């Protein structure tokens, strides 16, 4: 149980394009989802915390107008990279926690590799 699915797994697009990444909790309801990015050979960096029905909380240094997060339902959060440029190329990973259970493990998706040409 506790499966998190990300789509797409890989995307390649031209500079200036906006790209939407979906994060779904398949078999549970998630009040909170998290978005991370990871550069090659580096650790995961938390970008934002997404709560269902409210605005996302962004970490310091993360541009909220650049990385739009929507968490419209208890099973879906989306990250849109707007007007993407080559420096936005990275591995984006989401995670989710099960509704109503505090301080339990985050369940991670398998990530989306974004390449901007």
Partner 1 sequence: DAKTTQPNSMESNEEEPVHLPCNHSTISGTDYIHWYRQLPSQGPEYVIHGLTSNVNNRMASLAIAEDRKSSTLILHRATLRDAAVYYCILSADTSGTYKYIFGTGTRLKVLA
Rule CB under 8 A: which residues touch partner 1?
Answer: 4, 6, 32, 34, 36, 43-46, 49, 51, 57, 91, 93, 95, 97, 102-103, 105-111, 113
Minimum distance from CB of 16 to partner 1 (Å)?
26
- Cβ-based nearer residue to partner 1, 58 or 88: 58
CB atoms within 10 A of CB 15: 12
- Cβ-based nearer residue to partner 1, 38 or 82: 38
How close are the terminal C-alpha atoms of the chain, in Å? 37
- Cβ-based nearer residue to partner 1, 17 or 32: 32
Minimum distance from CB of 84 to partner 1 (Å)?
20
As a whole number of angstroms, the distance between CA 109 and CA 93 comes to: 6
CB atoms within 10 A of CB 75: 20
Token code pair at residue 43: 């650790």
């Amino acid at each position: 149980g506790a499966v998190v699915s990300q789509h797409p797994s890989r995307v390649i697009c031209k500079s200036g394009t906006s790209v939407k990444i979906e994060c779904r909790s398949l078999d549970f309801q998630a009040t909170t989802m998290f978005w991370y990015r990871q550069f090659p050979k580096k650790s995961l960096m938390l970008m934002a915390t997404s709560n269902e029905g409210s605005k996302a909380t962004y970490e310091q240094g993360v541009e909220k107008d650049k990385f739009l997060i929507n968490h419209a339902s208890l099973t879906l959060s989306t990250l849109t990279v707007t007007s993407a440029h080559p420096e936005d190329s990275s591995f984006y990973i989401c995670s989710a926690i099960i509704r109503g259970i505090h301080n339990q493990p985050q369940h991670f998706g398998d990530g989306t590799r974004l390449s901007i040409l």
